[in-house]
Amino acid sequence: MTDQQINPRHLHPPGGLLGTMRIRKKLVVLHTIFSVILALILLTSLRPGAMAVVRRAEMSQARAALSMLITSDTLDALRLDGGFFDQTDGVDIRIGSPAQLGLTPEVVESASKTPGEPVRSAVLPDASSAAVLIDPDQNEFALATVRIPEARRAVLELYAFTVVAILAIYGLIAAALEMFVLPKHVYGPIARLLDADRAIQIGDTASEIIPDRFIPADEMGEIMRSRNQTVQSLRRHEHDLAEALGRFETVASDLKRKNHVLETARRNLADADRLASLGMMSAGIAHELNTPLAVIKGLTEKLDADPDHRLSPAEARLLRRVVGRLERLGESLLDFARVRPPQATTTNPRGLVDEAITLVRLDRGAKDISIRNEIPQELTIACDADRVIQVFVNLIRNAVDAQRNQPEGNIIIEASPLDREGARWLSISITDAGPGIKPELIESLFEPFVSTTLDSRGTGLGLAVADGIVREHGGVILAHNRSDTTGAIFEILLPITAPTAQHTPGDTLPHPPAEPTDV
């Protein structure tokens, strides 16, 4: 049915007294009203007929009394008694002129045409009367009025019997309806319909369809059949949807396997590229070594040429810095080249971040930068604590260096658990308020010697070392600029349980807020 075919009256619930009643009450009220109206109709239709019978009987008796009066010797005695005779059986006879008897001209004319024969005079509310001309010369008439109390009482008894009969019939019909008809044809189907709807609400699929043996062949049955068809159609659609979802999951699983194959191929290509870039790395190492070696060579030549073999304090400090740089470069190369399986233990990542923040504050001048650890205390992760601390140190140092020239710096470390591809992951983000990452560096940010501006020690290996440690744990590091303001976000995704093989997590979810703690 279209919107144009919908009757507007069907859009609103019925009002009035019946609209607020349940079906049983409605049937009782309607049946009672029908019975009362039927009783009134019967009483109204019976009264005229019954009273007509009584009046005809009274009229016949009045005529008979007048006929007997004319043929008997009672007429002279009646004249001597003043023209009035009252019998005990309800017959009153009077003799007199039309004016004395109150006869109408029509009655006088009718009686004059048939002298000696009684004619109908009048029908009173409680009696009937007949008149007869008994003496044409004297214009004398006789009027007999008859009232039969027994007949009128019989009519009243008939009325009473009719009322009692109607009430009895109503009671029998109501009892029969309540005991035999309505429970089977109205209340029962409605109860089964409600039970089936409740079965849908509680998920009882075995009881949500009404069996055909309980469906009557009336309008209620049509409603039940229509409802069954609707429910079955919904279940078919749900089944089709479940099959479609199953096919979708199969396709998704196949895509997952293909993505894994592609990721493996990508890693193999990355390893090949890494081997191919060893030449570039060697050139970078040579460049990193040549600068401090040139400084050392110059200072040693000066020291050898000086008769006193002494260096100035500034030259000594320069030599110390250059040697320290060579030492850090050697340590970074060892960390980058060292590959060993992590010794995983269940650890609180908040404590690891606190320790990393302490190391950064001791090693770098980060007193003016706010570093906030907002990782929830209850989170745990299976990892090699010492190596993961090194990851946090490198990334936090990068964030500190990115904001060193700013009047106020701010670093926030957050963490939240994620569910991806049937595994539990921990997302740890390090957010700074620095200038951000140059777009051309994001793709190759974790390769060795790509950038020294964001590097943790100025050697070009800090991010590469951190990326290698995270991959050993089966995780990945993602880097991108902030969208709301300037700054960068480094996100570490690690499996919460110790991995048996390396995994690559999917896209990250938004981070829920945590209780901040300044360190």
How many helices (H) and strands (E) the chain has is answered by: 14, 12
| The predicted structure's pLDDT at residue 429 | 94
Q: How far apart are CA 173 and CA 515, in angstroms?
A: 76
- Whole-prediction pTM: 0.39
Classify residue 198: in a domain, yes or no. no
Among 99, 132, 147, the domain boundary falls at: 147
CATH of the domain at 371: 3.30.565.10
245 found inside a domain: yes
H or E element in which residue 143 lies: strand 140-146
Cα–Cα distance measured from residue 149 to residue 147, given in angstroms and rounded to the nearest whole number: 6
Taking each helix axis from N to C end, the angle separating 313-337 and 278-305, rounded to the nearest 10 degrees, works out to: 160
How many C-beta atoms lie closer than 10 Å to residue 78's C-beta? Answer: 19
Inside any domain, residue 47 = no
Residues 325, 359: contact at Cβ < 8 Å? no
Same domain, 487 and 354: yes
User: Do 355 and 476 share a domain, yes or no?
Assistant: yes
Strand 476-481 to strand 488-495: parallel, antiparallel, or no bridges (unpaired)? antiparallel
Where the chain has pLDDT below 50, the residues are 1-4, 6, 8, 10-11, 80, 82, 84, 88, 452-457, 501-519
Is residue 369 domain-shared with residue 477, that is, in the same domain? yes
* Statement to judge: residues 348 and 476 lie in one domain: yes
- CA 415 and chain centroid, separation: 34
Residue 83 lies in a domain: yes
Is residue 65 a part of any domain in this protein? no
Give the relative orientation of helices 149-176 and 23-71 as an angle to the nearest 10 degrees. 160
- Note the pLDDT of residue 16: 62
Instruction: Express each pLDDT in 429-488 by its tens digit.
Output: 999 988 888 888 877 787 776 654 444 445 566 788 888 889 888 899 998 998 888 889
* Domain region containing 313: 281-338
Q: For 42-54, what is each residue's pLDDT tens digit?
A: 777 777 777 777 7
Q: Are residues 270 and 312 in the same domain?
A: no
Q: Which residue has the tokens 């005779």?
A: 85
My answer on whether 287 and 308 are in the same domain is yes
Task: Check residue 241 and give its pLDDT.
Answer: 92
Q: Do 508 and 480 share a structural domain?
A: yes
Are 363 and 475 part of one and the same domain?
yes
The structural domain count of the chain equals 4
Looking at the structure, tell me whether residues 260 and 334 fall in a common domain.
Answer: no
What burial class does residue 454 get, using C-beta atoms within 10 Å of its C-beta: 0-12 exposed, 13-18 middle, 19+ buried? buried
- In terms of domains, do 125 and 112 share one? yes
**pLDDT at 379 (0 to 100):** 92
Identify whether residues 320 and 403 lie together within a single domain.
no
**Residues 195, 340: Cα–Cα separation, whole Å:** 66
Residue 471 CB partners (closer than 8 Å, separation 6+) = 502
Look at residues 276, 296, 318 and tell me which one is the last residue of a structural domain.
276
CB atoms within 10 A of CB 504: 17
Domain co-membership, 434 together with 484? yes
Of the candidates 123, 147, 171, which is a domain's last residue?
Answer: 147
Residue 66 domain flag: no
